[in-house]
Chain A
Amino acid sequence: LVFTEEDKYGLYSNLLFKYFLAEGVVCGHDLFVASAKEHPDHILKELPAPLLDDTYRNELGEEATAVKSEDFQDSMKIAWRYQNLPKIEASPTTSTKFGHYYDVSKTMSPELFQSVKWHSFYLHEELSLQPKMKTCNMNSAYARLLQSIQRIIYQEGFDGSDPQKKQKNILRIGIQSLGSMLWGDDICSSDTPEDINSLTKFLYVLRGLLRKSLSACIITVPAHLIQNKAIMERVTNLSDTVVGLESFIGSERETNPLYKDYHGLVHVHQIPRLNSLICDVSDTKDLAFRLKRKLFTIERLHLPPDLSDTVSRASKQDLAESAKLLSSGCGAMAIGKKHLDF
């Protein structure tokens, strides 16, 4: 279960969401798209087109949707993916070709899309139906979504319940802007929400569904709107991967010379530790993303060269401050006390 904390205006997390789904189309997986904001048909029409040109692949690093590696195993993983899975351009490992590249300026052709089976859940169309499962005090929109997912998993045999089905496939589930007011949950608008446990219960049941079947899921959540931080802590414990996207739009970092090449930062808060005692932690913790005209890349954040003679003391201090924030570490391994980071 990949939990993605959305950036403030949702631009980049949407992009990530679409990349996940596009990869599913290219790999021939089934898709399930749920949203309360946009009709899933619209979302699916705007998937980026895959780049099938080899020269592009050689130039860039890997297209890293970490979730893809988990797809090819039978166990389900729920990854909370905060942010886009970073592509480490700084150290390309050309030997592994993992995933595909996408051209953001073009949308996916309808023919490619027809070959894939997809299901959608648009909240406002589903409101008329009554949930058949016990809602157990959960927000009814979440309950309906769970019921829908469970139904698809069961009917299409992703949970192995149909031994006749010869070819196993993977279901990619994408849920957009969970927890926002459009889903009927008030955790984003109030300090003391009415039902603080709806989202966490939903996640627990979703985790159970994912573990039981061949599916992977990405959820984006407007975490910056959630007032109650206790919810975020609980949610982090319930997910496999947690990634946060922080865009620079409108913040003071936009003009910070440290960040001039990038559009935002990628915070990896947690990575999955499944089926083993240890997890695979990469060397670098500081990742940033940028959106070029055709490509969305995530790279290792490196300081720009300090070439200017006239860099004032104030801006040097800013750089030092920003550098302090860089090495905050990854939750699955160890995060140091804040004031000791250096």
Chain B
Amino acid sequence: MPEINVTPLGAGQDVGRSCILVSIGGKNIMLDCGMHMGYNDDRRFPDFSYITQNGRLTDFLDCVIISHFHLDHCGALPYMSEMVGYDGPIYMTHPTKAICPILLEDFRKITVDKKGETNFFTSQMIKDCMKKVVPLNLHQTVQVDDELEIKAYYAGHVLGAAMVHIKVGSESVVYTGDYNMTPDRHLGAAWIDKCRPDILISESTYATTIRDSKRCRERDFLKKVHESIERGGKVLIPVFALGRAQELCILLETFWERMNLKAPIYFSTGLTEKANHYYKLFITWTNQKIRKTFVQRNMFEFKHIKAFDRSYADNPGPMVVFATPGMLHAGQSLQIFKKWAGNEKNMVIMPGYCVQGTIGHKILNGQRKLEMEGRATLDVKLQVEYMSFSAHADAKGIMQLIRMAEPRNMLLVHGEAVKMEFLKGKIEQEFSIDCYMPANGETATITTNPSVPVDISLSLLKREMALGGSLPDPKKPRTMHGTLIMKENSLKLVSSEQALKELGLNEHQLRFTCRVQLQDPHSDPDTLHRIYTHLKSVLKGYTIQHLPDGTVMVESIVIKVSSSAEDSNAKVLLLSWSYQDEDLGSFLSTLLKKGLPSGLC
């Protein structure tokens, strides 16, 4: 039985360093190649030694697919391709291909330049890695090789995020990456057709949550910002350059416009400004509304949001500042935070998840005294707010996707074990399909039962269809008989006659002749007619003919009558049939041996 194996190297019952190995139909595919934000040691990257102990990965992988540009999905890519060694194709969508190297370079700078780590990938390695990338378009079927094909679907979540359908022969797997089933301010909802994969590998970040409506959270966010501005405070929103930042900008921009607010909104320069350009150029990846109106008004050209200069932080009066990075662990956001932390009128809003060890994490946990470099401490007096804007599908969304794709099996990754367990139960109950949740390094094996594609000769198929009539009758299934010829890799189903011809074989006729003695006091032609009448009454649904040349034919069985020279009542019936009529011939000879019933005329 063919089987599909799925082994997470990362994201197995965990969030972070997504990396899932799939082997299907003899092909090995790596889905995502991410890093873990919570670790600074070896555990930061997936354990590629699982694939091979020594040497490069090229021989062991047919392709690598990256679902989107978040570092927990692509952060280990240059390490994998350039330091461990992989030269095969890496697939990602155009926006991911554009943005991913920028985030990788950013990540490298923080790790190497700021933290002083060595033995890390270099800028050149990022460039070399990106040269191996083959861009994917939505819904395009990409033939990785003769057997393996992949197809990308829109996933929402972030710009360029994709789900991917992987197919070998009639077996298939869908990997969702991170996705979002409800459209937001700038992106559309994930969509997939009824592709009925053998396995659907889904993220499960919000496995147990049914989230309140996005509108509520948005209103909440705007209210908090507005209140702070009204009392003359400054609002700091630490963000990552791409993704949530744009969504929140659109939100504030429209709010400012509607409320006619005058307080300045700033965006920390550099990466973020560039990021808006990406959104403008990849506008086809955003939601319907933005796409429709972009000629009149490009939503990513902000009127109220201006570039930030570090001197502005000391300006008096209220303001809102978006600054990177998102977890307050370094850079501009941290600098501004230090300046503003002492004033209780100010506010910091954390719009996303913060990894342990970062200042973001500490203040979210209520820490009010922070130790800074040197021996200085920082008193945190400003208001700290957390607001989840990350775009993952919630439990409802995951169920919705299962309904869309109709998978035969389900496999959960990218979530916490306890929550997965809960969702697994729900899925198995509602859809009656098996649900797997392997831990890292653990393999889930799923046996598939593919049907075998065969080429049938049209004449055979049509003959069969003609016999059965145009509409299939459920009570009387149409049976078809033919010969399957297996030659090299081709499977052809043809009629037996055609098979003989195609294989250059002669037909061997096997015939039987049988003489039956019978007492019947009639003339030979009369006896024959009596036999005819008898058979007519016994054999319903068979073709029986009384031919003028003195024979009776039942289908293709020939019956003749002669009488012996001595006794004209002692008849000899000659039955002759071919092997193809064996059952009927055998039946007839037995039947006629019993003699003819008396009541026949």
- A and B, one complex? no
Chain A interface (Cβ < 8 Å from any Cβ of B): none
